[in-house]
Structure 1
Amino acid sequence: MHAPANPFLAPKTSARVFERFAFGFFRAATYFILVCAACIFGLIFFKGGQTVFQTHFPFVNVPFLTQAPETLFVFQYEGKKMELGDRAFREFKNTHGITDIPAESYVYSAGGIFPCIVGTVLLVIGSMAIALFIGISAAIYLNEYSTQGRFVHFVRLAILNLAGVPSIVFGLFGLGLFVGFMPMLQGFSNPTVPSLPVGFGHYLNFSGWNVCLLSGWFTLAFMALPVVITASEESLKSVPKGFREGSLALGATKWQTIRTNVLPYALPGMLTSSILGIARVAGETAPIMFTAAYVVRDKMPWQVDHALDVVFQGVMALPYHIYVVSSKIPQNEYTERVQYGAAFVFLVIVMGIALSSIFLRIKMRNRYRW
């Protein structure tokens, strides 16, 4: 005797069969993306880990993390294969009294990536500070102060369109505006560029900031602005209106209400936008190639005569260094370990900055609850 059919079981129709098929397809697509990501990151961590870590004490390749890039020289000496960086190779020849020795040279395949690490961290932190300040300020105006009309809708549309601009266009924009046009306060009038007297014998010469940290900061900040503004505005909208109405009813001003009753509760969501912004700007090569990065830079940014000159120094950066080593020089086993080692360190830096934002967001979310 057959068991009675379950009356609560949905009938098997073509629509439900298609729904099951669609669900399975979407789940398979999700798993496929996860597998691809795991393969990419696994390859980088496996090969990069072989460069960054070693099997003997101190188990970390300290020179790779603390030295500047050098040319690698590979040669035979007394039947042994020698691999020395540029400085060590010159010292070796002086010590052994050798004037000339046949050697194969590999550019950027010796030394380390310390200047690239410093430049990347400075570019990310500086650009995100600018993007958060401008982006949060714009979001506060759009959500709290502006009258919803055609102009505000046009601004929001412009922000959305800005998010779709290719990074190379941002690089050219930064090259034209920040590198070649922005004013510099100088004690003389430059006859080759427009100048504006400001008094006390000083002039604003519109000769640009040149290739430097400041140009890179503003270019990358403009790239992150659409993400920061959109996410910050959504965070402000999520704060209940009762918080604002209660504060205003007690006699607080508009700005006091925003500062004490709105921003603290919206900050966790704004920090989420900073995480997305970091992912947007950290790996960009084209903008910094035009505005901030050098292939080789002997001095660190802080090695200047005046403290204010720090922001007007160009830097090396990991994305640009990886690009140069991967595409501008002949590929071999020595350049491969530099590529994967730099990519490994770059991922760790981005993950570290993102995790810091996540922990700060969690701490603030636990502190401000409603």
Structure 2
Amino acid sequence: MSLHDDNKQGLIEWCKRGEPMIWLNAAAVTVSTMAVIGLLLLLAVRGFGHFWPASVVQAEYNLPSETAVPILAERVEVESVPIEQLLSAGFKIDASEPFVKRELVKVGNRDVGGADFKWVISDYLEDVQYPRDVLVIERREWGNFYGFLQEVKEQGKVVANTEADGPAALLDFQARVERASEIHDRIAKIEKKDIGSINYKLEKLRLKERGLSLDDDLSAASRQERETEIALSRAELDIQYKALQAQLAELYTQWNRDSYTILTSSGQLREQRMATVVKAYQPNAMHIGQKIVFYFQKFGEFLTEEPREANTEGGIFPAIFGTVIMVLIMSVLVTPFGVIAAVYLREYAKQGLMTRIVRIAVNNLAGVPSIVYGVFGLGFFIYFLGAEMDKAMFAEALPAPTFGTPGLLWASVTLALLTLPVVIVATEEGLARIPRNLREGSLALGATKAETLWRVVLPMASPAMMTGLILAVARAAGEVAPLMLVGVVKLAPSLPVDGNFPYFHLDQKFMHLGFHIYDVGFQSPNVEAARPLVYATALLLVVIIALLNLSAVALRNRLREKYKSLEM
């Protein structure tokens, strides 16, 4: 036999052993893993790099045939573009090179220049410097401001000047910023918590009063007594409200006491209120340790604070909270219904044509587009079920809806319905894998069918139930389309959990990380400012889904080890 025939025979044997498929599967897994790792790295670099305090460059932008423009900005992005693209856009520049490097810089000062991002051609940046005294001011409105601190004022009078006082002026400025932030927090607490609680109680009194007017069976004496109680309670709340308003007036006076003047790159002198400042820092004067500390502070603010500036500034805590609480409620709703349906189909239903049709219907429901579930949730749960609940239990609040409007409850129920087929199929598969001899042994020992199901079959099938729950959580946490119809909003003024009875408000609207990504990425008026937040929020959503799934996986593995001995 020739060498060629030996090689051919060896190749045939190699294929018969199935090794090509092993290598092909290994290659597919490797490529998929690398793609996932690459995606996560891209999200991490583009998103979490946003919190690093970038150095601020000062330069003259001197295009040919145009007046030189002073620039004070952070460098955000660098790219190479064809020279023809710039020439066709009207730029009169040197055309000796086929490609030109341009940079996206964040110039801030939106209230001065109108836009806080600008593209510049790198070759025309002259006299580039990194001044140590440049100040970056993060504001509550209008984004960042870049400039050089000149004066600190108290009630319009100069109390510190950088020329005369040097570094002491900056220290005084930072102290007054901290003071203003503390007052802002106190104002926010009074407005949101204290006055919010009073308003909530006043609304409850108004609804109680209207309920009395709708109750025709109530006697005149009882009506008069309850109306007197309501009036006394309202008078007491009005006294508390006026006291809080007086506190607020005093706090606002203190909050607006201080101001500062700052010099822009163009030489303009601007005076601004200290109350508008969130944070101020000098990135060019910070060493690496200070930058690391600053980075983690900014990242912590991103996780724990509320959004600002059309969701392009601040944090995303309400979206994190809304996502997690919705998934937990959905899990509590979908698991028992899915398990009960699977137990009936596998253990009690007669295995015939009708049962097969039901299983086919369940499998088909798993492939229905999620937006269809959203439309169903809007039409059935909100407009029908919620409206009927309002008529039966919240008549005094009508025509303002309570449950007849999108909210956390209906969003969770809609997603529970969406993921129900997954839990049913996974639980059925788990029930089918339980050995028949275990059931027969339990029945032979005198247990009823229900006892066998409860004490033997369901515990052993619990890992499969957890598998269904894991798949349900993975799908529900990332859904956006149905939530846009049944409860999620761009910005929720308050969390669905607070100190007002019943403390957990399922009727309230909420924020969601998936919708937050869509809103910031596609609906933001400031695209460049929103882009890094899209990456950071997307990675955070992946991490939250992974944590929820890992928790369920750990519980499933524990249950699997617990009941493994029964299967042997």
Query: What TM-score do the two structures reach when normalised by structure 1?
Result: 0.79
What residue is the counterpart of 1:133 in the other structure? 336
SS at structure 2 position matched to 1:38: helix
Kindly report which structure 2 residues correspond to 1:186-335, keeping only aligned pairs within 5 A, or say none.
186=393, 188=395, 209-303=404-498, 305-307=500-502, 310-335=505-530
Cα 1:191–1:208, aligned 2, differ >3 Å: closer, same or farther?
closer
Cα 1:16–1:88, aligned 2, differ >3 Å: closer, same or farther?
closer
Displacement of 1:213 in angstroms is 1.0
Cα 1:295–1:12, aligned 2, differ >3 Å: closer, same or farther?
closer
Distance 2:452 2:471 in 1: 28
Displacement of 1:45 in angstroms is 2.5
How many residues get paired? 336
Conserved 8 A contact 1:228-1:273? yes
Displacement of 1:348 in angstroms is 1.6
Distance 1:271 1:362 in 2: 9
Cα 1:52–1:239, aligned 2, differ >3 Å: closer, same or farther?
farther
Conserved 8 A contact 1:211-1:290? yes
Q: In the alignment, does 2:553 pair up with 1:358?
A: yes
Distance 2:374 2:467 in 1: 25
Q: In the alignment, does 2:545 pair up with 1:338?
A: no
What residue is the counterpart of 2:33 in the other structure? 34
Displacement of 1:27 in angstroms is 4.3
**Per-residue displacement from partner, 1:93-119 (whole Å, max 9, x unpaired)?**
93318579xxxx952111100100110
**Per-residue displacement from partner, 1:329-354 (whole Å, max 9, x unpaired)?**
14544212221221222122111111
SS at structure 2 position matched to 1:96: strand
Cα 1:173–1:141, aligned 2, differ >3 Å: closer, same or farther?
same
Structure with the largest fraction of strand: 2
Question: Quick one: percent identity of the two aligned structures?
Answer: 33
SS at structure 1 position matched to 2:505: helix
Q: In the alignment, does 2:107 pair up with 1:84?
A: no
Displacement of 1:54 in angstroms is 8.4
Structure 2 portions without partners, runs of 5+: 55-107, 114-132, 145-176, 182-254, 261-270, 274-307
SS at structure 2 position matched to 1:82: strand
Conserved 8 A contact 1:74-1:82? no
What residue is the counterpart of 2:311 in the other structure? 108
Conserved 8 A contact 1:322-1:343? yes
Distance 1:291 1:243 in 2: 45
**Per-residue displacement from partner, 1:1-28 (whole Å, max 9, x unpaired)?**
x99x99xx955449949x7766655544
Displacement of 1:305 in angstroms is 3.7
1:96 maps to a residue whose letter is S
Displacement of 1:42 in angstroms is 1.7
1:83 maps to a residue whose letter is E
SS at structure 2 position matched to 1:312: coil
Q: In the alignment, does 2:325 pair up with 1:122?
A: yes
Displacement of 1:187 in angstroms is 5.3
**Per-residue displacement from partner, 1:140-160 (whole Å, max 9, x unpaired)?**
111111110111111101001
Cα 1:23–1:358, aligned 2, differ >3 Å: closer, same or farther?
closer
- Give the one of 347, 351, 366 matched to 2:542: 347
Conserved 8 A contact 1:73-1:84? no
Structure 1 portions without partners, runs of 5+: 56-71, 193-204
Conserved 8 A contact 2:382-2:403? yes
Q: In the alignment, does 2:151 pair up with 1:96?
A: no
Conserved 8 A contact 2:318-2:495? yes
Q: In the alignment, does 2:348 pair up with 1:145?
A: yes
What residue is the counterpart of 2:381 in the other structure? 178
Cα 1:315–1:191, aligned 2, differ >3 Å: closer, same or farther?
closer
SS at structure 1 position matched to 2:43: helix
1:247 maps to a residue whose letter is S
Q: Which deviates more, 80-89 or 40-49? A: 80-89
Cα 1:344–1:82, aligned 2, differ >3 Å: closer, same or farther?
same
2:441 maps to a residue whose letter is G
Distance 1:10 1:138 in 2: 54
1:222 maps to a residue whose letter is L
Distance 2:42 2:481 in 1: 25
Conserved 8 A contact 1:84-1:110? no
Structure number, greater radius of gyration:
2
1:346 maps to a residue whose letter is L
SS at structure 1 position matched to 2:310: strand
RMSD: 3.8
2:379 maps to a residue whose letter is G
Distance 2:499 2:316 in 1: 21
Cα 1:35–1:79, aligned 2, differ >3 Å: closer, same or farther?
closer
What residue is the counterpart of 1:157 in the other structure? 360
Distance 2:327 2:394 in 1: 32
**Per-residue displacement from partner, 1:202-225 (whole Å, max 9, x unpaired)?**
xxx9x9631111101111011111
Distance 2:491 2:558 in 1: 40
1:50 maps to a residue whose letter is G
Cα 1:133–1:54, aligned 2, differ >3 Å: closer, same or farther?
farther
